[in-house]
Structure 1
Amino acid sequence: MKKIYIITGLLLLAISFNGFSQNDIFSMKWLRGWTNFEPNKTDYEDYDKVLPNIISEDTFLRSDLVYLMSGDIYVTNNATLTIQEGTVLRGDVENSANLIVTRGAKLIANGSKAYPIVFTSNKSPNSRSHGDWGGITIIGSGNAYSTEGEGVIKGKFDPLYTSYGGTNENEETTVLRFVRIEYAGKSTNGLSLYALGKKSIMENIMISYSADDSFQWTGGESVSKNLISLKSSDDDFDFTQGHTSELINILAIRHPYITSDNGSYAVEIDGYDNKVGFKNTKKLTTVDITGATLISLTDQMNYSHSRAAISVNNLAELYINDSTISGFSDVVRLDKTFSTLKMVDHAFKMDNSFLNVHKEGVYTENKIANATFYLLKYNRFTKTFQNPEELFEDPFDKGNPKFTLKNSLNNYMVIQ
């Protein structure tokens, strides 16, 4: 299929919005104290204890021990695995580690700002890389929204433990607070979340250098806040199979030359999975994001390698506000399931945000005229593409990158 980019006339006005403040969009104090933007330099202690491959009764992991995850580790039999704040768990590289919390079981990883819980590679400093180990998979009993009412998780795991979904939409499937996941993504995602119940808690989670998606939600319902994806090889935030999600404060930092074979997005949303199908059009994926910072560290010399920040497919819906998107070709790409302007206007809404892209802003596979105007009006943007160091305070600081705008938002143009 030949790709056609929309060129539309825009009325550009340098005006102000009520309530459109730089502090609202770029305040990122929530990053302080628990994140690590240079995990390859951290010298974690060697492990003291190897986790068993089957955890079938309630288990508590103490912070005074370092644990090795080796091979596939299943939490089964409705058991709860509780991890104390400050605990470090290292994933075996030779016998690739995966932690699978099966349906009915539970993971409580309740870290703190001062003492986050860390899942990381078992390699030594300066030798870690994308996909050193597998990842964390959490399976819930919430709605799967498939034609069969349940599904099977991604990965080559024991089929006894791979089913997800059910009717317990109010389940507290997991509690994750102040958690870092580093160098995962071998044959699965950094964090895979299946059919979560809506009482699940996900706050302050950082996933760094995943070889697959950093976060992936399949089915279920959740509210999450303060999520970070650092230089993932595939998508940063991926949603599918009817998942209903509200996200508050997310950060994705992408490297211009790190991507998957099929290309990657900061946010990818599929209304349904083509391989699984869906029950009805009222159970398609819907995502609401407030306070997204989606950054590709491209410049005028290499931005030809970039693509859209967001991909919306299979009749999914996304509302995004109070956000910044910079370094991508376009803001959003919409696939062929959106055939009219009314459909794309219903599927994607964005306001009160700042944009720095090097193409028209909206790409639709169906060549829909005027999509850029309808989807991006009431957002500020750069008149010409600008390099990260021109826009932001300190985007290349390796230990503490800062994406606060150097200039006032009133200096930028408005689609009106």
Structure 2
Amino acid sequence: MKKITQIICFLLIAANVSAQQEKGIIGYSNWLNNWTEFKPHKVQYGDPNQILAGNISVNTKLLKKNVYVLQGNVYVTNNAVLTIEPGTLIIGDFESKGTLVVTKGAQLIADGLETDPIVFTSNRSVKKAGDWGGVVILGDAPINKLGNVGSYNLDLDPTLTNYGGNNAASNSGILRFVRIEFAGKKVKGVDTFNGLTIAGVGNKTILDNVMVSYSGGDSFAFFGGDVNANQFVSYKSINDDFKFTQGAQCRLFNSLAVRSSYLSSNKDGSRCMEVKSYEKKNETDFTKKGTQVVASNITMLNDSENIKADIQAGLVKEAVYVAENASVEMKRSVISGFNPAVLIDSKTEINDVNLKKIKFEEMFFNLCNGNIFTEYNSNNEDLENWYGNSLFFNVYSQSDNKETFVDIFNPKKPDFRLQLGKITASSGR
């Protein structure tokens, strides 16, 4: 590795940062209470009495008193606004791969309440990951594909699935107190839908308190755009929990990813967080911004009760993957039970310039088989020493999950906040 000029002052935001600050998801109370559901398989939902199909081209409101079935590909078009009342249930149809697509210029106002969330789920009697399509929101904020235009095709109508533009402050609506369960159906020979796809979406869009559970694809996929995302929950996704690409500019705050050694795929490309600047180099405009993710107070954990055995069995991978030319700044976050915590693309040269783009500060690394590694590199001592410098205030532990978090195995109301005593863990690695 080339010699790194250790100019730490450029990598720290303030000299008064304290290793005692609260890490991982935060809140005086457990903000997961009331609106989340960690056992959606066991919930008995009502039978549908209304059908959603085809195009929604005029302003439309879905009412809590009804239960809707989403049949086939349903598009909100013509700059229309689809409003969903708090407490409304929308059931994705398995046979027709129900999918909701909010096209560029249209809006989705799904503004639920903590005590009355909006729920998208499956209509199968035995629900599984990938039962239906998912929710797709397309906007006109910048992306870094050539021509500033992308298309989210899969088996959707190509005339209705363009995204990207020049309006970073565009508004695609509101998603607040929303659950999306068992989405992410695979399209044969193409790809897999995600629970929530956010493509070219602008920063006037409100994205708060959204839970995606048991997604067959990624839970949350961000393709370009400029967004703030707060209190997102990804629970036992098959693929990535959070995927960022195509020049996405995202501020992610106070959010949670829970993986399982036995449910989540351990194949290449399945992680808590994947940060890429592009999918294909030959389709990328390098005069545009690369992907930049600023993430704070994030908790990423593998909820296995025997993480070390699962790591030895090859069931566990890295939590965060940072690809070439991408930028990630993660602070006050917890990564527990991975192999290793962070993996940096082998194409990324480890030098001053790149280390200023890949920041991990005030972190709590727990039960990880290595902390920050370069892909395919057997000797990561320099990187470990760099991020282990006391000025970064990263701390390290090998504590059991039961001792590390408040109450993660509570079947009804799990609490994934870090136990206060763990914040002062030893900085020895």
- Superposed pair shares fold, TM > 0.5: yes
Alignment partners' CA distance in 1, 2:165 and 2:419: 49
For residues 357-396 of structure 1, the aligned pairs below 5 Å read: 357-365=367-375, 367=377, 370-377=382-389, 378-382=393-397, 385-396=398-409
Once the two structures are overlaid, the 10-residue window that deviates more, 16-25 or 167-176, is 16-25
What residue is the counterpart of 2:108 in the other structure? Answer: 107
Instruction: Report if aligned partners of 1:25, 1:353 keep a CA contact under 8 Å in 2.
Output: no
Give 2:244's match in structure 1, choosing from 228, 239, 242: 239
**d(CA) in 2 for partners of 1:120 and 1:404?**
27
> Which residue identity lines up with residue 20 of structure 1 in the other structure?
Q
Q: In structure 1, which of residues 202, 208, 213 is the aligned counterpart of residue 207 of structure 2?
A: 202
Deviation, structure 1 residue 322: 1.3
Shift of residue 24, structure 1, vs aligned partner? 7.4
SS in 1 for 2:121: strand
2-structure distance, mates of 1:145, 1:100: 22
> 1:11-410 counterparts in 2 under 5 A?
18=18, 20-22=20-22, 26-27=26-27, 29-124=30-125, 127-187=126-186, 188-260=193-265, 261-274=267-280, 277-280=283-286, 283-298=289-304, 299=306, 300-304=308-312, 305-365=315-375, 367=377, 370-377=382-389, 378-382=393-397, 385-406=398-419, 408-409=421-422
Contact 1:48/1:66 (8 A) holds in 2 = yes
Q: Secondary structure in 2 aligned to 1:40?
A: helix
Q: Give, in whole Å, the separation in 1 of the partners of 2:132 and 2:292.
A: 31
Matched to 2:195, the amino acid is G
The SS at the match of 1:212 is: coil
Counterpart of 1:372, as a letter, is E
Note closer, same or farther for the CA distance 1:21–1:116 as it changes in structure 2 (3 Å cut).
Answer: same
Decide whether the 8 Å contact of 1:345 with 1:375 is kept in 2: no
- Whether the aligned pair in 1 keeps the contact of 2:23 and 2:363 (CA below 8 Å) is no
What is the Cα deviation at residue 315 of structure 1?
Answer: 1.1
Find the residue that maps to 2:309 and give its secondary structure. coil
Aligned residues of 2:33 and 2:413 also touching (Cα < 8 A): no
> Percent of counterpart pairs with the same letter?
35
For residues 262-305 of structure 1, what are the alpha-carbon distances to aligned partners after superposition, in whole Å with 9 as ceiling and x for unaligned?
A: 34110100012225633226500000011101011232322232
- 1:17–1:172 CA distance, 2 compared to 1 (3 A): closer
Please say which of residues 227-236 and 257-266 is displaced more in the overlay.
Answer: 257-266
CA RMSD of aligned residues (A): 2.2
| Amino acid across the alignment from 1:271 | S
Q: In structure 2, what is the Cα distance between the partners aligned to 1:23 and 1:202?
A: 22
Aligned-residue offset at 1:319: 0.8
Amino acid at match of 2:18: N
Cα distance in 2 for residues equivalent to 1:33 and 1:407: 23
Q: Residues 344 and 53 (structure 1 numbering): CA distance in 2 closer, same or farther, change over 3 Å?
A: same
TM-score for the superposition, normalised by structure 1: 0.90
Q: 1:131–1:210: 8 Å Cα contact kept in structure 2?
A: yes
**Residue type of the partner of 2:264?**
T
TM-score by length of 2: 0.87
State how far apart, in whole Å, the 2-side matches of 1:373 and 1:281 are: 34
CA contact (8 A) 2:22 2:332 kept: no
| Structure 1: 5+ residue stretches without partners | 5-15
Structure 1 residues 376 and 147 mapped into 2: Cα distance closer, same or farther (>3 Å)? farther
Alignment partners' CA distance in 2, 1:410 and 1:388: 14
